[in-house]
Structure 1
């Protein structure tokens, strides 16, 4: 049976709904690509259908065939509230919601990025992501916004992951 749900009409990718909560009130609901950082080459075009399966890639730089997997260390089932240090200085509410959503899913990494993760080298991880997928000059967001999104997602990653990954081929 087909899984009908929300998807992006532009890329065929899966879409998540995200809620915006501030101080115990529901401020709104938004929709985002099911990716570590919202793609910066196109805006989400919400549609209903069956999302295309995505080839596994490094969540840091986008390289195909990642070798390592980082499991989340927080279990939202264990507690109603948990606190995470998150640098949201330059993030919108949508971007903050996506960064927090990243706590709940494992992250895949290529060999190169796993070394950068072990060194906790956020700046080089961001540069590598931007080298592999440059921000288009006429894209929906500028490079400063992309850097802020990457920094927010990586701050969640480093706050919620142990230092050692597991081989992804063990899955």
Structure 2
């Protein structure tokens, strides 16, 4: 039997549901691509089907063949609540929810981004991501929004992964 679930009809990628909670109340449910940062080249086109298997790529810039893997340092089963400094200044509720989910999964990095991570050079990581995948002029979001999404996701990464990476072949 096929593994039927939510997917994006545009890219074939896996989709996850995201609940929005504020102070103990459910504000709503949304759907997002299963990526570290919601793509800025197309909007999600929700469909039901079998998501396409995707090869790992760098979660910072999108380059193929990542060499490094950063495991999360937070254990969500260890405590019901944990606090993380998260810069959500320019993020929507959907983008904030995705940034929080990023705390729970390992991140892949290419050689170049791994060096930038070691240097904690967020601005150059963001520039590299936008160089590898430029924001389309007629896209669903502008470059300012894409930069804000990257800033939010990367701030979660740096808050929850202070350790050294492992070779990605360890997966």
Short-chain TM bin: over 0.9
Aligned length in residues? 171
Q: Determine if the alignment matches structure 1 residue 61 to structure 2 residue 61.
A: yes
Aligned match of 1:35: 35
The residue correspondences of 1:9-88 to structure 2 (distance < 5 A) are 9-88=9-88
Q: For 1:113, what is the secondary structure of its paired residue? A: helix
| TM-score scaled by length of structure 2 | 0.99
Cα shift at 1:55: 1.1
Q: Tell me the CA shift for residue 170 of structure 1.
A: 1.8
| Counterpart secondary structure, 1:20 | strand
Residue 2 (structure 1) aligns with:
2
**Separation in structure 2 between the aligned mates of residue 84 and residue 170 of structure 1, nearest angstrom:** 27
Unaligned runs of 5+ in 1: none
For 1:19-71, what per-residue CA distance to the aligned partner results, in whole angstroms no more than 9, with x for missing partners?
Answer: 10111111000000000001111000000000000111000011111000000
Assess if the C-alpha contact under 8 Å between 1:118 and 1:163 holds in 2.
no
1:162, 1:122 → 2: CA distance?
14
Tell me how large the CA RMSD over aligned residues is.
0.6
CA distance in structure 2 between the partners assigned to 1:73 and 1:18 by the alignment: 22
Q: Which residue of 1 aligns with 2:96?
A: 96
Q: 1:57-101, CA deviations, whole angstroms, 9 ceiling, x for partnerless residues?
A: 000011111000000011111111111000000000000000000
TM-score normalised according to structure 1 size: 0.99
Q: Distance in 1 between matches of 2:35 and 2:53?
A: 13
The CA distance in 2 between the partners of 1:64 and 1:150, in whole Å, is 18
SS at match of 1:69: strand
Give the gaps of 5 or more residues in structure 2.
none
Corresponding residue SS for 2:129: helix
